[in-house]
């Protein structure tokens, strides 16, 4: 084999070595029984036709490559934003490995969560014993201040009752009666990670808020929502709120736990909203959500408790940040300081400087409901044309909201909105009605390769590029980052298209 201690090859060159190439060829001939290459090509071409698109879009009983994750992943993310909190997922172990690896691969940071590791016997007789043993083990091994319990499909299918199980576990002494164990049922066969985020956020607040009596105060609760850029975005939110002089509680702040320094020690927990602040957040004057579709149940609950509530849709760019600052001003009475107005002016100036490259460019966007709304609004304000907007976890209300946004600008004319569709649908849509660029997560890479539409990575998960989440997309500063990310791809593409001397080498921002 070509690999040796003297010659260590990465997998990219390794699999090109003759030994591997011969092995792949033999495997194909002996075991794969493939169809002839021309037949495979013929079918591949047909899958890009209008005929196939119609059949594909009529598909109802099957989802292929959905642009969403399952509920417990969102619950694990929400719980990670509370101080020294360990996620305990009741159900099968493999599911929890998936949440941990998904979050770790995106944030390039360890992501802790434990599982009750239900197996066949628990699936038949219920997972009560797994809960009793699991809570005791998790508490003694990892010494959290709070254990947040969610569920996988397996526990939900057999109908395990978390409230009763946790009460029983406490009776049996797994953890102290006063030890906080909030929970949320997160059946993964409905909703998505955004629903799971909402359920866990409500579960944690319910645990603390139902114990207290509200004494209305002046503080503001801010809920960021499920966000792959939360490390930098939460810090940007705190900076802007600090500049405004607002007293606030950021409910679920993952910015430190998913961005730990390398200092020679392993810390399982870092930062996060403290338990004291979470309990005291009941007394806030208002709760502001930055992502409506991540917090519908939570905001309803906050309103029931007597708080004013307001929801935004992933505030990016000039209008998005304006809406955020105006909402904070409306809810707290605090003015927007000159420092933020200056940042606003700089972003507007940057957009104006680059308008000619953005104007009229067509984009397809896919991702979570709030992200796609925020992204579409940003494209409209820079003069670009959102052309297809897709959210696998978007419903009728999201579709209506997107259409209203599109109707507010001439650049939104003709844009098609795809609620509940997946990335295999998007392949058909883009093969028949292509755009200039595609905005989404790392899973768009294969659409980029297959259809030749350049991909701009701007939402969770991003596995095949590093450290994007360390730079904000929220606020005017974040708007600059989003603008530059889009412009870089446009100009990279322009460079590719203008590199034949004497033929396509038109003047492009380089003069003698
Ligand atoms: S969809 Fe169900 S089985 Fe799959 S990872 Fe999520 S909880 Fe586990």
279-330 per-position pLDDT tens digit: 999 999 999 999 999 999 999 999 999 999 999 999 999 999 999 999 999 9
* Residue 456: φ, ψ to 5°: -110, 115
Range of the domain at 455: 354-498
| Average pLDDT of the chain, as a whole number | 96
- Give yes or no for residue 5 having a pLDDT over 90: no
**Given this model, what pLDDT does residue 498 score?**
87
Last residue of a domain, one of 312, 338, 364: 338
Any domain includes 344: no
User: Percent of the chain having pLDDT more than 70?
Assistant: 99
The answer on 243 and 185 residing in a single domain is no
Any domain includes 314: yes
Helix (H, G, I), strand (E, B) or coil at 170: helix
The answer on 448 and 412 residing in a single domain is yes
Q: Is 89 in the pocket of ligand 1 (CB under 6 A)?
A: no
Kindly give, in sequence order, each residue whose CB lies less than 8 Å from that of residue 322, ignoring residues fewer than 6 positions away. Answer: 344
**Given this model, what pLDDT does residue 1 score?**
65
Any domain includes 202: yes
Q: What is the pLDDT of residues 13-28, one digit of tens each?
A: 999 999 999 999 999 9
Q: How many domains does the chain have?
A: 3
The answer on 224 and 109 residing in a single domain is no
- Give yes or no for residue 510 having a pLDDT over 80: no
- Give yes or no for residue 512 having a pLDDT over 60: no
The answer on 253 and 158 residing in a single domain is no
CA of 119 to the centre of ligand 1 (A): 14
Task: Give the residue whose CA is nearest to atom 8 of ligand 1.
Answer: 95
Q: What is the pLDDT of residues 191-246, one digit of tens each?
A: 999 999 999 999 999 999 999 899 999 999 999 999 999 999 999 999 999 999 99
CA of 95 to the centre of ligand 1 (A): 5
H or E element, residue 98: helix 93-107
The answer on 486 and 369 residing in a single domain is yes
Res. 118 pLDDT band, cuts 50 70 90:
very high
Res. 116 pLDDT band, cuts 50 70 90:
very high
CA 293, 296, 302, 308 torsion-angle sign: positive
CATH code, 229: 3.40.50.1980
Residues involved in catalysis: 153, 157
Q: Please tell me the pTM assigned to this model.
A: 0.96
Q: Is 95 in the pocket of ligand 1 (CB under 6 A)?
A: yes
| Closest ligand 1 atom to Cα of 71 | 6
The answer on 276 and 140 residing in a single domain is no
Q: What is the pLDDT of residues 431-459, one digit of tens each?
A: 999 999 999 999 999 999 999 999 999 99
Task: Give the residue whose CA is nearest to atom 3 of ligand 1.
Answer: 153
Give the DSSP letter string of 285-309.
Answer: SEEEESBGGG-HHHHHHHHHTT-EE
Q: What is the pLDDT of residues 60-87, one digit of tens each?
A: 989 999 999 999 999 999 999 999 999 9
Q: Is 72 in the pocket of ligand 1 (CB under 6 A)?
A: yes
The answer on 332 and 247 residing in a single domain is yes
**Given this model, what pLDDT does residue 49 score?**
98
The answer on 278 and 224 residing in a single domain is yes
Distance from C-alpha of 393 to C-alpha of 327, rounded to nearest angstrom: 26
Closest CA to 205 of 84, 73, 295, 112: 295
User: Percent of the chain having pLDDT more than 90?
Assistant: 91
The answer on 398 and 366 residing in a single domain is yes
Last residue of a domain, one of 210, 230, 265: 210
Neighbours of 61 (CB within 10 A): 4
Helix axes 475-497, 317-332, angle to 10 degrees: 170
CA of 169 to the centre of ligand 1 (A): 25
């Amino acid at each position: 084999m070509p690999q040796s201690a003297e010659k260590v090859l990465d997998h990219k060159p390794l699999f090109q070595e003759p030994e591997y190439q011969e092995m792949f060829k033999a495997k194909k001939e002996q075991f794969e029984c493939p169809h002839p290459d021309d037949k495979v090509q013929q079918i591949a071409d047909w899958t890009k036709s209008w005929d196939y698109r119609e059949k594909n879009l009529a598909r109802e009983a099957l989802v292929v490559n959905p642009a969403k994750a399952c509920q417990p992943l969102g619950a694990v993310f929400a719980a990670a934003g509370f101080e020294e909190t360990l996620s305990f997922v009741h159900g099968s172990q493999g599911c929890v490995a998936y949440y941990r690896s998904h979050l770790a691969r995106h944030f390039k940071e360890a992501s802790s969560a434990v599982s009750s590791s239900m197996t066949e016997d628990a699936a038949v007789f219920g997972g009560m014993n797994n809960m009793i043993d699991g809570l005791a083990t998790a508490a003694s091994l990892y010494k959290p201040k709070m254990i947040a319990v969610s569920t996988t499909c397996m526990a939900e299918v057999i109908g395990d009752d978390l409230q009763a199980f946790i009460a029983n576990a406490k009776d049996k002494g797994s953890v102290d009666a006063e030890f906080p164990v909030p929970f949320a049922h997160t059946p993964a066969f409905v909703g998505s990670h955004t629903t799971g985020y909402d359920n866990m956020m409500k579960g944690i607040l319910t645990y603390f808020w139902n114990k207290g009596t509200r004494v209305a105060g002046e503080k503001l609760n801010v809920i960021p929502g499920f966000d792959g850029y939360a490390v930098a975005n939460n810090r940007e939110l705190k900076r802007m709120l600090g500049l405004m002089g607002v007293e606030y509680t950021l409910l679920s702040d993952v910015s430190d736990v998913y961005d730990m320094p390398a200092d020679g020690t392993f810390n399982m927990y870092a930062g996060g909203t403290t338990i004291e602040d979470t309990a005291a957040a009941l007394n806030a004057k208002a709760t502001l959500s930055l992502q409506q579709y991540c917090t519908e149940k939570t905001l309803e609950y906050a309103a029931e408790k007597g708080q004013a509530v307001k929801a935004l849709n992933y505030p990016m760019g000039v209008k998005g940040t304006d809406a955020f600052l105006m909402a904070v001003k409306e809810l707290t009475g605090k003015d927007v300081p000159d420092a933020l107005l200056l940042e606003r002016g700089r972003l507007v100036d940057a957009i104006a400087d680059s308008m000619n490259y953005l104007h009229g460019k067509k984009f397809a966007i896919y991702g979570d409901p709030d992200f796609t709304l925020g992204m579409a609004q940003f494209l409209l304000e820079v003069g670009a044309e959102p052309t297809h907007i897709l959210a696998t976890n978007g419903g009728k209300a999201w579709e209506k909201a997107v259409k209203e946004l599109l109707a507010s600008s001439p650049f939104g004319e003709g844009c098609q909105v795809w609620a509940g569709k997946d990335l295999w649908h998007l392949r058909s849509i883009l093969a028949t009605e292509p755009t200039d660029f595609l905005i989404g997560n790392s899973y768009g890479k294969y659409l980029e390769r297959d259809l030749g539409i350049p991909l701009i990575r701007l939402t969770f998960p991003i596995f095949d590029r590093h450290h994007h989440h360390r730079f904000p997309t929220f606020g005017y500063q974040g708007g600059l980052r989003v603008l530059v990310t889009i412009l870089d791809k446009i100009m990279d593409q322009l460079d590719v298209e203008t590199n034949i001397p004497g033929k396509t080498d038109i003047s492009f921002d380089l003069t003698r």
